Structure 1
């Protein structure tokens, strides 16, 4: 029975599962290997305990802050998610509009369905833009030029994808295979969701990687684009390439995909304006640390010299509070907004973000703090994930 009033990320996940073809739901929901890191990303947040305080004047709680130089209603941005436009009709544009209404940044993925100009028009302002280091450096330059011309000033550069992780759910659904058998499997899953066919497959065209249209001549379907993208992942990238990127991009540069303190320092030395502690949502190397566990050591290593964000495992406004208490300046969320998008469209994303802001405000009140800038280790009930 459908939920009348979804209240949590888990509620939106259940609705997304009911509405999406299985291969699309598993693409968003799944992780690498046995999905141990995917699980610990969430579980380790649950192990962090907060210190409740009473008899503090918390009438004027303010969740506002700034991320990447942008005013935000709370310390949260929507993370880049590939193929989000397959989860709802013109999905990235709708999510960007919901983020703008909530006063939050939206990050458009290189492999999003909606092109940058469509997302900018929908939101009324340019989004942050996410990019990988492609083998074709001229393609990188062309994409950067296009993003700058569209008004984007914050680039989120993903560095933890020299190759794609081993994702067994995708294999089981035929996503890693060609041929008739795999196609028939996906067709059967699509036909089991006629509402998705009507809303997205037919009503959401064109379903291509909008930001790569100029880079894939003659590519008229997702398979052609996917083959090009897979061939473009560059396993030879080093920090020297990031220094080159810094010369190409004059706006803010956030390096996403850092789990190690030494790598965080290298990112700053290469010219990054910010670091995103991330394990790609548990989708790359299974068995690595959760992001919330890795955060304190990275925060100590950077010593406040650069902006520090986190993604992976954040499932509520209370989790946002925990990330700030352990050293982050803000968080990015991926799966939760995509679940809400798939389960409820633009209004679903708005509802999710409104609920999280309320949860953050309540957590602040009950912890006895009125500004997000004042959240710190003093609001934790005990030491958690201490740096070595």
Structure 2
């Protein structure tokens, strides 16, 4: 449904990965390497799927992953996703590659986490961190797996660029998708003006329609543990690193005082052939014990969530499905998607004879 609703460049951006899609496919296929054991004749009538992260109890063990340009696929998409997390009491992460000011999201959904890309200039890095704090958000997620631009050939094929470059092809995509054109783009222009990258380096950035991109915002090869250490000293709230795939890096994160990590290969969108997060989760758990180890990339079913939790993940994050849901039906669509996944988890726990997530461990898994 989202593929029909969205212009091809936008749907291609959301659905695509990079190069030959090896990691994208592996993120799904790895879950088939585990089968589930069940316990029968257990009273599961009072089961719960609540989970705890950083002292807060959430209703389900999954959250909404950060997704760039969400306000292009649905009207005020960043707020739509954050509000859904607030309503349904699941964690939601706002992307730094966003078109809505983080202050607007913070006012609407104050429990939202903010995911940041860091500037190579210390004053801009500090300004962004201070801005997140001033907005009242208490959880900062630093993405660490983007030292260079990925080779997303799919974007070239579908005519997507960031920012979008004006062309006849792009204009036709808008005209030929009138519902998106009126409900999302025209509505945004009338009410908020031309969308800009609102949360770069502590200030407003490039407009979404532009012939040129500020190269500085796409180059992050400068980011090292030195910058992470500086952020840790400056930021007093919860600090999470997203994009960890090696046990060595997990140990470094623990030494830096990081509060939690998200094991992720960016949904297969960065390094094609990067290992599937589920495969390295046990090794990372052995090196990071000071806080929750979470996981994203490839989660599509309740059984996926249960397998990740059985291997030790504290929570998982889901991206594309919630983006599609917002594109199709706005807030109601995201609520519906959350309910579908929540119901699958509840049903699966019952059939496994499990009444709480604390009971899940590797004894429920059989490696195939």
TM range, normalised to the smaller chain? over 0.9
Measured in 1, the distance between the counterparts of 2:129 and 2:287 equals: 30
Q: TM-score, normalised by structure 1?
A: 0.89
- Note closer, same or farther for the CA distance 1:177–1:59 as it changes in structure 2 (3 Å cut): closer
User: 1:4 — aligned with what?
Assistant: none
Match of 2:44 among 34, 51, 58: 58
SS at match of 2:188: coil
Matched, 1:209 2:203: no
TM alignment of 1:25-174, pairs within 5 A = 25-123=11-109, 125-174=110-159
Cα gap change, 1:153 to 1:214, in 2 (>3 Å)? closer
1:1-388 paired onto structure 2 within 5 Å? 15-123=1-109, 125-176=110-161, 183-205=167-189, 206=192, 207-212=195-200, 215-216=203-204, 219=206, 221-223=207-209, 227-228=213-214, 230-231=216-217, 233-302=219-288, 304-380=289-365, 382-383=366-367
Stretches (4+) displaced over 6 A: 177-180
Compared with structure 1, are the counterparts of its residues 94 and 226 closer, same or farther at alpha carbon in structure 2 (3 Å cutoff)? farther
1:173 Cα shift?
2.7
1:212 positional shift: 3.5
Residues 281-314 of structure 1: CA deviation (Å, up to 9, x unaligned): 1000001111111212212233x33210000000
CA deviations on 1:127-167 (whole Å, 9 max, x unpaired) are 10001121122122111111111111111110000112100
SS in 1 for 2:167: helix
Q: How many residues align?
A: 364
User: Structure 2 vs 1, CA of residues 178 and 365 (structure 1 numbering), >3 Å: closer, same or farther?
Assistant: closer
**5+ residue gaps in structure 2?**
none
Q: Structure 1 residues 177, 60: closer, same or farther in 2, change over 3 A?
A: closer
Question: Distance between the aligned counterparts of 1:209 and 1:76, measured in 2?
Answer: 27
Q: 1:178 deviation in Å?
A: 9.5
SS in 2 for 1:295: helix
Task: Tell me by how many angstroms 1:31 deviates.
Answer: 0.5
Q: Contact 1:94 / 1:122 at 8 angstroms: preserved in 2?
A: no
Give the TM-score normalised by structure 2. Answer: 0.93
